[in-house]
Structure 1
C-alpha cells in the first residue's frame, strides 16, 4: 500500500492569506481526489503567531492595525484590505473586515492543539477562521473560544480547562520553534512530506499538481520496494 502524503501547514488563524491558502489547498485536494488513482493526503496545522505582541482587546479596526504595525497610511491599509477581500472572494470566502476584531491568537493556537488531541483539529481550524474573518467573533476570549469548540463537537468544560491551565502552550511553542528551524518567517507555509516547502496561498491548481507529483513519487517508491 502506498503511504499517504503528509502536508504540514504553518498558519495563524488571524492571517487572511492563511485562510485563502487553506481553502485553495482543500479545493486542490478535492480536484486531485477525483483522479482514478487519487492521492491519499493527511493534513496537519501548526502554530505560527504573526503578531504575538498584539493585545487581546485591540482598539481599532483592521486598517488601524495595519497602519500602526506596518508603518503605512490609512489609505494604503484600506487598499490592501480591498485587494485581499477580492482574492478571498475568488476562493469562495466572504471577508468582513468591517466586523473583524483583531486580537492575540496564542489561545486560539492552544485550542487547536487541544482539538488535535481529540481528533478535531481540521474542523476547529475552519471554524476559528470563519468566525474571525466572516463573523466578527472575538477569538481571543476564552468564552468565545469555548463556544466555538463546542460548536464543532468538543467538550466545552475540557476546552475551558485546557485554556485556563495552558495545557497546550508548550505544543504551540514547539511548533513555532520548528518553524524557526525550517526558516519559516511568513505564513501560510506548507511542508510536504517533510522535504518540499511551498510558501504562500498558492492557487488550487498548483496544490493539485503538487500532490499528484508527490503521489507519483510515492507510487514509484512503493513499486521499487516491491521489486527489491
Structure 2
C-alpha cells in the first residue's frame, strides 16, 4: 500500500460523511496509513448511528497492527447500543498520540462529539468530510453544503477539508471519481476550505490527472466482504 503523506493534517482528525459515503472505510484506511508514519496511533469510533460497516468491526485486526481502537464500552461489534468507553479522552488529551475519530454520519451522530468538543478545540484538529457524489443526499453542491453546515452546528466544530470518495464500489470508474472531484472542488471553494484528498482504488490511480496525484489516497476495501463488493 502506498504511504500517504499526512503531515499537513492536524494531530486530531475527525472523519465524517453521510451514510454510504465510505467514511468508515476511509477512516480504517487512514489509520492504517498513519501507523506507517507514527508509533502511537488511535482510532476512536464515535459512530453511534449506523449499525453497519463500522470501523470498530476491524478492532482486532487493527490492534494486532499496533493501532489502539476505542469505541463502545459494550463488548461485541454487533451490540448496537450508544454506549461510549470511558477512555475515549485518553488519546485526545495525550499529545503523544495521533488520533482519527470516525464520527456518526448525520447531525444527530455529530452531537456525541459535544462531550469532547472543548478538549478537541483546545488542541490541533482537522475535521474532514467524506463526499460521495453518487449519494442522493450530497449529489449537488448545495446539498453537500447544507449537510456540512448541519454537521458543524451539531458538533460545534468547523469542517476544515473535504475528501472526494465518489465510488460505486468495484464498479467505480475514473469518470465517477472526476465527477466527484468537480463537486468537491465547488463545495470547497464556496466554503473557503480545501479538497484534502482524492480517494479511489489503486487500479484507478494511473488514470488520475497529474494535478490530483499529490492528493491521491488509495482505498482498500476492509469493511465489506468480497461478496458485497
Higher relative contact order (Cα pairs below 8 Å, separated by 6+ residues): 1
Q: TM-score range by the shorter chain?
A: under 0.3
Provide the TM-score with structure 2 as the length reference: 0.27
Which has the higher Rg, Structure 1 or Structure 2? 1
Structure with the higher fraction of residues in strand conformation? 2
